[in-house]
Amino acid sequence: MIKNKASKTVRNFVALALAFGLLAGCGGSGDTEIKSEPSPEPAGEPTNEPVAENRPVIVVTYSVLGDIVSQLVGDNATVTVVIPDGQDPHDFQPSAKDVETMNNAALVVSNGLDFEEGLEEVIENIADSGGEVFMVGDHVTVRKTEEEDGHSHSHGDDDDEDADHAEGEDGHGHGAGDPHLWLSPATMLEMLPALSKALSAAAGTDLSEAEKVLTTELEELDKQITTIINGLDGCKLVSGHDEMGYFADRYGCEVIGAIIPSLTTTSEATAGELADLKKLAQKNKVKAIFTGLGTSPDIANQIASELGVKAVTLSTHYLDGATNYQEFILRMVQQIAEALG
Same domain, 193 and 245: no
Q: Model confidence over 129-176: pLDDT tens digits?
A: 999 999 999 999 999 886 554 443 334 444 433 333 333 334 334 458
CA distances from 130 to 100, 103, 104, 125 (A): 15, 10, 12, 9
237 shares its domain with 109? no
Based on the fold, state whether residues 201 and 241 are members of the same structural domain: no
C-alpha to C-alpha distance for 256 and 244, rounded to whole angstroms: 10
Domain range for 274: 228-340
pLDDT over 90 percentage in the chain: 74
Same domain, 210 and 235: no
Instruction: Kindly report whether the global pTM for this prediction surpasses the value 0.95.
Output: no
- Number of domains observed in the structure of the chain: 2
What value does the mean pLDDT take over residues 22-34?
A: 34
Examine the domain organization and report whether 187 and 239 are in the same domain.
Answer: no
Residues 66 and 198 in one domain: yes
- State whether 319 and 207 are in the same domain: no
SS3 percent helix, strand, coil of the chain, rounded to 5, is: 50, 10, 40
318 shares its domain with 180: no
> Is 320 found in the same domain as 286?
yes
Q: CB-side exposure of 252: number of CA atoms within 13 Å?
A: 11
Q: Is residue 288 part of a domain?
A: yes
The answer to whether residues 206 and 250 belong to one domain is: no
Is there a single domain that holds both residue 66 and residue 201? yes
In a domain, 266, yes or no: yes
Q: Is residue 11 part of a domain?
A: no
User: What is the domain-level CATH number for residue 251?
Assistant: 3.40.50.1980
Would 35 be classed as within a structural domain?
Answer: no
Is the same domain home to 245 and 295?
yes
Chain segment 186-211, per-residue pLDDT in tens = 999 999 999 999 999 999 999 999 99
Cα separation, 245 vs 254, in Å, equals 9
Residue 309 maps to a domain: yes
59 to 75, 106, 305: CA distances (angstroms): 15, 8, 42
